[in-house]
Amino acid sequence: MSQRHAVVVGAGIGGLTAAVALHRRGWRVTVCERAPEPQAAGAGIVLAPNALHAFEAIGFDARTAAGRAVPAALGLRRRDGRWLSRAGTAAIAARYGFPPLAVFRPSLAAGLTAALPAGTVRHGAAVDSVEDPDGSPVVHTSEGELSADVVLAADGIHSPTRRRFFPDHPGLRYSGETAWRTVLPASGADLPEAAETWGRGERFGIVPLADGRVYAYATAVVPEGYRPADVRAELLRRYGTWHDPIPALLERIDPAAVLRHDLYDLAAPLPRHHRGRLAWLGDAAHAMTPNLGQGGCQAVEDAVVVAHLLDGARTPADVSTALAAYSTARCARTDAIRVRARRAGRMAALRNPLAAAVRDLAVRAAPAGPALRAMDGLLGGFVLPPRPRPVPAEA
């Protein structure tokens, strides 16, 4: 293994972070991405302090690589605009080292790609299968076969590799909600304040981006596969009477630029995040609902941890040992966050008027200090585990 080669399946944020982390540790990396070209449209992402600490561990500055970034402490509001809670960025930064930063997701992906050698990311290279991860892994793609010393599957929430190697796993669970996401130009000189507004079975989020645009998202409790014919009319019907600036943002929506996804998470945790010299990360390993804003952040943590553990791997046995250590390091944390996100989503999606009113009252009454400390395990929970000892060579 004098020239260690890693194949990463998927060029999302987790896959690209893994590629950058491994490249900076001397690995040759090939990223296979099914899409024919980088995504130009898309949504925003809020990088929580734990993800920013993970990026810092590999020497990647997400604050500048994505162009610009703005602090994005998220408050909660009612439909009439009344605040339920507000968290200042200064308090978050003082406690966790960084404030949350909002960036345009395609810009972050472009910044990560720019940190890799030209040709590392192969768009239009669909991965058909991965063979023999316990022996010498071979990745079959639409452009031919690739031999690898390690394969990292970052192939998303519907991960084909996960389905193949965990055929008895129950798969995904529909959360009961669908989501619409888009990026809009802001009106006037001032960007709106970041906030998520809770109704009854409906939510609307506003996250200002540094380039003068606004990332807007909405969720609603609807049947799985719900597809309104007129997206703008549907959103105006649901949220058009909510507080400013929500109605004005809805009027500027381009329906063709709206991303719509049903929200899923894994019905049960995977028994492990690896097999032999193949490992899963991000949504492929622990798909979670976006209620805590941790899906992408946990993918970044995964990528940095697995690259850290692979750093000293010089033999096939070392790689297998490193990936087993990765499973040990990541399974419990990511599943706890998956469950916590599910519970948070249930509370936010309450439809009963009395239950929603009690929820809002409880959020308003919660003291700011203890509420922030309750996030310690989440926002302050990123650590690099100790590397395993190399496997002794056979005599």
The per-residue pLDDT for range 146-190, each reduced to its tens digit, is: 999 999 999 999 999 999 999 999 999 999 999 999 999 876 556
Least confident of 71-80, 209-218, 318-327: 71-80
Q: What's the pLDDT tens digit per position in 170-180?
A: 999 999 999 99
**CA separation for the pair 44, 106 (Å, rounded):** 8
Q: What percent of the chain has pLDDT over 70?
A: 95
Q: Could you tell me the pTM of the whole model? A: 0.95
Q: What's the pLDDT tens digit per position in 280-298?
A: 999 999 999 999 999 999 9
Please say if the pLDDT value at position 317 is more than 50.
yes
The whole-number average pLDDT for the span 300-320 is 96
Find the farthest-apart pair of alpha carbons in the chain and give their distance in angstroms, rounded. 75
Least confident of 19-23, 92-96, 358-362, 368-372: 368-372
The whole-number average pLDDT for the span 295-319 is 96
Q: What angle do CA 384, 266, 171 make, to 5 degrees?
A: 125
Q: Which CATH number fits domain 5-72+96-171+267-347+368-380: 3.40.50.620, 3.40.50.10490, 3.50.50.60, 3.90.1150.10?
A: 3.50.50.60
**CA separation for the pair 258, 260 (Å, rounded):** 6
Mean pLDDT, the chain, rounded, equals 92
**303 to each of 15, 109, 279, 284, 298, how far by Cα in Å?**
7, 14, 10, 12, 9
**236 to each of 50, 242, 247, 302, how far by Cα in Å?**
35, 9, 7, 38
Closest CA to 278 of 131, 122, 169: 131
Q: Are the C-beta atoms of 77 and 40 separated by less than 8 Å?
A: no
Q: Are the C-beta atoms of 175 and 223 separated by less than 8 Å?
A: no
| Ordered alpha helix ranges (H), the chain | 13-23, 49-57, 62-65, 89-96, 105-114, 160-165, 231-239, 246-251, 283-286, 295-310, 316-348, 353-365, 368-373, 376-379
Under the banding of pLDDT at 50, 70 and 90, the label for residue 395 is: very low
Q: What is the pLDDT of residue 189?
A: 55
Looking at mean pLDDT, say which of 17-26, 91-100, 192-201, 373-382 comes out highest.
17-26
